[in-house]
Structure 1
Amino acid sequence: MSATVSPLRRTLGILTPHLNGQKLLMAGGVVVLLFEVAFRVLEPWPVKFVVDAVTRSLGADFAGTGPVATPMLLLACGAALVFFTGMRAVCNFFATLAFALVGSRVATKLRGKVFDHVQSLSTRYHSANRSGDTVQRLVGDVGRLQEVAVTAGMPLLANCITLVAMAGVMFWLDPLLALVVIVACAGFVLLSRISTGKITIAARKTRKGEGSLANTAQESLGAIRVVQTYGLERTLADRFGSSNQKTLKEGVKSRRLAAALERRTDVIVGVATAVVLAGGGWRVVQGAMTPGDLVLFLMYLKTAMKPLRDLAKYTGRIARATASGERVAELLEEKVDITDSPTAMPLGKVWGELEFRNVSASYGDGPPVLSGLNLSLQEGRNTAIVGPSGSGKSTLVSLLVRMMDPLDGSVRLDGIDVKDITLSSLRANVSLVLQDAVLFTGTLRENIRFGRLDASDEDIEKAARLAQAHGFISAFPDGYETVVGERGGTLSGGQRQRIAIARALLRDAPVVILDEVTTGLDHDARSEVLEALSTLTAGRTTVTITHEASVALKSDRLVWLQDGRVLLDGTPDELMGYPLFARWIEQQRKSQDEQPESPGVAVGSVQ
């Protein structure tokens, strides 16, 4: 699409659908804008009357008749000028306000649409694209579209209407001199066509560079403990500085091209004014015009040339907005590949029987992660999935909640293909607890309530008690109203996991997925988390992804995955008869025994 549609048209294409609800406000803004143009056209006339009246009073003899200068005439002309100027200012204020409201509302709707779209994209997109650049498009690029719509779009519209209106009056006053306006406009159009494309290309590279800067900054700040511990500050600063300099170079190039266009336009306007001044003066001498007509013509010329100056001035802004619009359009054109099928239905009563039928899966164009996998998980049983890294364990999780779909085969819940279940209904019946328990900035109560948004405070506290979290929450000065930092960084690992388990308990879903939940926890935190997990998984179909032998051996069933296939399947006792599994258990136990105890509270935890 981007190869056949111009950047500006592509940008307008993503904005136009959101203008539908703003037609009345836009119409009002255009009407007020037309009144402003009318007052702008009338504004020079008092000056013409005063100049002609004064020259007549001084004895000048020129074509046309009219009044001489009297105190009443001069006061009336002064009052008229004040009135026209004041009314033009009032109309400009209301027009600016109307267009600013339209711009803000459209930007808000567009940003909401882009955010919803990004959230609906599958793991395929999010694993291949960096979140910093996505956020830059969502916030920075949409914001730039809004800013340019108000600071450039509205003034240019007003000035273009003014140009047409004043050109008409100038042709009525003197068609010969009015041709100067046509020639000046033609010269500007020629110059702008040469410059605009180059400015847009430079602006596009600038925005891409700014996206790269956002990625580097986000990665560095998101892993600040690792950066500081390994002394990577200088390395990442150099990487940021390199991208920063490249972005600066492209930004300067864009502004240099825009400034050159502005100066060339100034020359065109200056030449046009000089021609009108000389030619108009000669026509006054010949008696074809009055001095007031010449002054009026020059004032009209100055106002009529303003759109050219503004267009040159705003070309850089419009080019940068177009580059931003392209980036937003590219994001919106990303295909949402995980959607409800036309025949998808919500689930009724869920028992929790899971089945993988001849499932093959991969990420993008990479090699298959799962190949012809067949696996049935009984309801109410805890099945541990173990195996070497890269064997496809976490891919099973993504398939179960439809963060991705299989290339071949099907994933079934209670005998129903998950593709035939609405996404909201499927995910409402699954609780997910990850190794890196994700908490959001906000209070502990809010984080638990994300499990079920309509839950009462009593429900939240009950879930926290079952998750062994009520004790440490109550120990905080603000209790459940304690605000946690980004991703829960102010809590220890065990505390974060218990909050995540409380959230899952509140959800009360029949299917529970645990992905390396106890990895990296010290002995005390691990014991508390395991106790909370026993409450969470009781009577529910549970899929436990783990590398820990002790966790695997407590499961009802064990499945060993390797190279995307089921290699071993049975109870823990049955699998101990296989040398491969027995050696793995021995290695895991030995590794656990040799691992030093880690402190119970993470650095920077809430005390």
Structure 2
Amino acid sequence: MAKKSGASAPEQLREALPGLRRTLGYLRPHMRDQRLLIGGGFVALFAEVAFRLLEPWPLKFVIDTVVAPAAAGQPGVVRVLLLCAGALIAVAALRALSAYLMTVAFALVGNRVMTRVRAQLFGHLNRLSLRYHRGSRLGDLISRLTGDVGRLQEVAVTAALPLVGNVVTLVGMSVVMLVLDWRLAVFTFVAFPVFIWFGSRDSRRINTAARRQRKREGELAGSAAESLGAITVVQAYGLEPLLQRRFDASNDQTLTEGVRTTRLSAGLERRTDLLVGVATAVVILAGGYAALLGQLTPGELVVFVSYLKGAFKPMRDMAKYTGRIAKAAASGERIVDVLRTEPDITDRPGATPAMPWQGDIRFENVSAGHTEDRLALRDVNVHIPARARVGIVGPSGSGKSTLAALLPRLIDPAHGRVVVDGRDVRDLTLDSVRSQIAIVLQESVLFATSVRDNIRSGRPGATDEEVEWAARAANAHDFILRLPEGYDTVLGERGATLSGGQRQRIAIARAIVRQASIVVLDEATTGLDPTTEREVTAALAELTRDRTTLVISHDLDAVADCDMVLSVYGGRVRTLTPAELAEATATTAVITRGGLHAHRS
């Protein structure tokens, strides 16, 4: 999660450097195989600086040789002019070429490295546990994945690296100015502490505003993702005005922080321009007087003034890029905050791949929950024989889904252990555990890709023939063929272009092609019409044949054909006897008939 701004914001720009160093620490491994390109970029950078230092000198020779009164009537003036003009063109061309090569090299490095960082960040987010994702806003995570990575990439290429070049230029020009006239150089250097004072005072505000702006932008993305992700509910309940007002409030706060950052950065830039103007005026005054006394030639004065402007360019750029670098520091820290979050669910040291399961499951003294301080299950002891069909019933929030989530290690027990075929699942590698479990949810989640790829996602190595076999087993083959492109039809986001029953049958086909030893059906037929429910139930029967099956449901009729039924209530789990199950089913029927009788009367 992003750190709060305010007290934790850096007081000065240099205090943001630790955050940038943290970011570079994560970037460094990705930069190792780019060392040749980075080295070439720095060679081009130093060449560009060298040619920048040479650029004013042809003008110096022109002024001293041609313009100065003592040069009037001297032979070879035209030759000097031609040589100086040619030298100026050559230096400018070589400088332009060096700058081009430097920009391309560093842009390639930046794009390659940040592309890898984005991929690493995406992979890391996918590995973080449900506990982390339930405590985070989807829009904010997407903002970090796209906006923060993009901002860091852009600033690295357009601000940080040019700033390095300007600092190198400053050092080189300072040396030349000291050689030309140390007294004028001292006048120039006096301006630097004044600029540092300005920057120290303003950068604290700029960094604070930048941190707040990035935090607001993350919140804004979260609000937008929530609203657009629930667009059906929003429109059905007429929530557009309410959500618009909330979005506008967050949007206005983002605007306020953005304007504040821009205003502070612009103020620092203008004060820097004024400081540069004053320093230039002082140098022209003192340098002009030195030229009148013959202590400095007019050409040397021109070179000195050119260097003066070049020497102050890093200060201008520092003022110009302070806000952008501050935003990059905030973005880098937001990225690092996610990357340094350790997944809750990982392979234990020494974990081994699971052998093909028979499906014998034991919950031994298990207590578990999605948060450490709120346990949904307490002291659960249950044995589920291999290939048994087990119903899990109970009211909403009783812990039914939590019990099922322990098997694929979507969460781990706070106490106790889950054992499959005699081995604690935490002693097995995570991939080998999850590859032997298939889950079908009430809300089928499909991806915006082809039907074939959606089914194949159950087992990425499945052939086209296996995909079609799974679709036939799930009673989905016929309607798939009626789609515009058949199995190659690209679905809308979350499968929105299909009906609920069609989505569910593709999800079942995805589970079938997985050929898992254990199947979890979490309210898989809830909300379907009778005809669709019959088709889905037939598909589920094919999926669960000869497999250990957990059927989670509120409906007792849905678990009537189970070998055993577990009742989950208040975090406790117990096995219902056949008599208790019959009595519960009968009570439900009586209540139903009573309701109908009352309605008829």
TM-score bin (small chain): over 0.9
Equivalent position of 1:583 in the other structure:
587
Q: Deviations over 1:35-76 (max 9, x none)?
A: 1111111110000000001234x3379xxxx97661111011
Q: Give the Cα separation in 2 of the matches to 1:588 and 1:140.
A: 54
Alignment partners' CA distance in 2, 1:592 and 1:209: 54
1:108-507 to 2 correspondence within 5 Å?
108-507=115-514
| CA 1:586–1:104: 2 relative to 1, 3 Å | farther
Deviation at residue 582 of structure 1 after TM alignment: 4.1
TM-score normalised by length of structure 1: 0.93
Structure 2 unmatched ranges of 5 or more: 9-14
Among candidates 562, 571, 574, match of residue 579 of structure 2: 574
Displacement of 1:268 in angstroms is: 1.3
The 1-side partners of 2:172 and 2:591 are apart by: 86
Distance 1:407 1:220, change over 3 A: same
Distance 2:316 2:70 in 1: 39
Provide the rounded CA distance (Å) in 2 between the counterparts of 1:181 and 1:450.
66
d(CA) in 1 for partners of 2:359, 2:353:
15
Q: CA deviation at 1:592?
A: 12
- Give, in angstroms, the shift of residue 302 of structure 1: 1.1
| Residues 230-276 of structure 1: CA deviation (Å, up to 9, x unaligned) | 11111111110000001111111111111111111111111110111
* 3-state SS of paired residue (2:190): helix
Measure the CA separation in 2 of the matches of 1:164 and 1:529: 75
Q: C-alpha distance in 2, partners of 1:342/1:328?
A: 27
**Percent pairwise identity:** 50
- One-letter amino acid matched to 2:53: V
Q: Which moved more, 1:242-251 or 1:585-594?
A: 585-594
| C-alpha contact 2:393 2:400 (8 A) present in aligned 1 | yes
Report the Cα offset of residue 143 of structure 1: 0.8
Alignment correspondent of 1:12: 24
Change (3 A) 1:169 1:290: same
Kindly tell me: are residues 428 and 553 of structure 1, through their superposed partners in 2, closer, same or farther at Cα, counting changes over 3 Å? Answer: same
The answer to whether 1:55 aligns with 2:70 is: no
Structure-2 change in CA distance of 1:371 and 1:415 (3 Å): same
Give 1:396 deviation, angstroms. 1.1
- Secondary structure of residue in 2 paired with 1:251: helix
Correspondence for 2:519: 512
Question: How many Å apart are 1:587 and its aligned residue?
Answer: 5.3
Structure 1 255/131 Cα, relative in aligned 2: closer, same or farther at 3 Å? same
TM-score with structure 2 setting the length: 0.94
Q: CA deviation at 1:19?
A: 2.1
Matched, 1:27 2:39: yes
SS at match of 2:406: helix
d(CA) in 2 for partners of 1:84, 1:39: 6
SS in 1 for 2:516: coil
Is residue 50–residue 69 contact of structure 1 (8 Å, CA) maintained in 2?
no
Aligned length: 586
**Partners of 1:44 and 1:306 in 2: how far apart?**
15
Letter in 2 for 1:12: L
Compute the displacement of 1:577 (Å). Answer: 4.7
User: C-alpha separation between the residues in 2 aligned to 1:223 and 1:506?
Assistant: 31
AA aligned to 2:89 is V
- Distance in 2 between residues matched to 1:588 and 1:371, nearest whole Å: 33
CA distance in 1, matches of 2:480, 2:359: 32
Deviation, 1:24, is 1.6
Higher alpha-carbon deviation: 69-78 or 166-175: 69-78
Query: What letter is aligned with 2:511?
Result: A
Query: Gaps (5+ residues) in structure 1?
Result: 595-607
Contact 2:276 2:312 in 1 (8 A): yes
Residue 565 of structure 2 corresponds to which residue in structure 1? 558
Question: 2:79 maps to which residue?
Answer: 72
Equivalent residue, structure 2, for 1:530: 537
Alpha carbons of 1:527 and 1:297: their partners in 2 closer, same or farther (altered >3 Å)? same
Take 1:237 and 1:589, find their aligned partners in 2: how far apart are those partners?
46
Q: Deviations over 1:194-221 (max 9, x none)?
A: 2222211111111111111111111111
Does the 8 Å CA contact 1:167/1:181 hold for their aligned counterparts? no
In the alignment, what sits opposite 1:36?
48
Q: Secondary structure at the match of 1:297?
A: helix
> Relative to structure 1, is the Cα distance of residues 122 and 361 closer, same or farther in structure 2, using a 3 angstrom cutoff?
same
Q: 1:13: Cα distance to partner?
A: 3.0
The residue identity in structure 1 corresponding to 2:332 is G
Q: CA deviation at 1:187?
A: 1.8
Cα offset, 1:477, TM superposition: 2.3
CA deviations on 1:489-538 (whole Å, 9 max, x unpaired) are 11111101100000111010111011010011111111100000000000
Q: Following the alignment from structure 2 to structure 1, what is the Cα–Cα distance between the partners of residues 594 and 49?
A: 84
Corresponding residue of 2:11: none
CA distance in 2, matches of 1:590, 1:43: 98
CA contact (8 A) 2:393 2:556 kept: no
| Equivalent-residue separation in structure 1 for 2:531 and 2:255 (angstroms) | 52
Task: Look up the SS of the partner of 2:209 in the other structure.
Answer: helix
CA shift for structure 1 position 11? 3.0
Letter of the 1:576 counterpart: L
Is the contact made by 2:372 and 2:414 (CA closer than 8 Å) also made in structure 1?
A: no
**CA distance 1:195–1:68, shift in 2 (3 Å):** farther
Q: CA RMSD in A?
A: 2.1
Give the distance between the partners of 1:13 and 1:350, measured in 2 at CA: 42
Q: Name the aligned partner's letter for residue 535 of structure 1.
A: E
How far apart, in 1, do the equivalents of 2:204 and 2:121 lie? 27
Identify the match of residue 100 of structure 1 among 76, 97, 107.
107
Contact 1:488 1:496 in 2 (8 A): yes
Q: What amino acid is aligned across from residue 20 of structure 2 in structure 1?
A: L
